[in-house]
């Protein structure tokens, strides 16, 4: 699985919207790791929108509820 560092735009207990440099397909599985918040969770791509400058907004559905991460963003 390719690795990519992202910028998080929005976080909820069950998902996140992140900015990425490559296109992803809905249904693809990902591993979300945020060492600072102690988060490690499997996720699934829900949507991928092309933004300006070849960047993508990607909606992730997480397999576990992430309370502490959602509160810190």
For residue 45, give its domain range. Answer: 7-72
Phi, psi of 10 (to 5 degrees): -155, 140
Q: Is residue 2 part of a domain?
A: no
pTM strictly above 0.85 = no
Residue 1 lies in a domain: no
pLDDT class of 54 with cuts at 50, 70, 90: confident
Examine residue 50 and state whether it is found in any structural domain, yes or no. Answer: yes
Q: Is residue 68 part of a domain?
A: yes
Which residues, including other chains, have CB under 8 Å from residue 39's CB and lie 6 or more apart? Answer: 32, 33, 66, 68, 69
Kindly report, residue by residue over 2-51, the tens digit of the pLDDT: 778 888 888 888 888 999 999 999 999 998 887 777 778 889 999 999 99
Residue 31 domain flag: yes
Identify the three-state secondary structure at position 40. Answer: strand
Distance CA 10, CA 29 (A): 19
Number of domains in the chain: 1
């Amino acid at each position: 699985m390719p690795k990519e560092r992202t910028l998080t735009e929005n976080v909820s207990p069950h998902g996140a919207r992140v900015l990425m440099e490559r296109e992803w397909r809905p249904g693809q599985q990902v591993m979300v790791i945020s060492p600072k918040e102690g988060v490690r969770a499997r996720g699934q791509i829900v949507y991928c929108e092309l933004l300006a400058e070849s960047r993508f907004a990607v909606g992730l559905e997480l397999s576990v509820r992430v309370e502490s991460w959602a509160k810190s963003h």
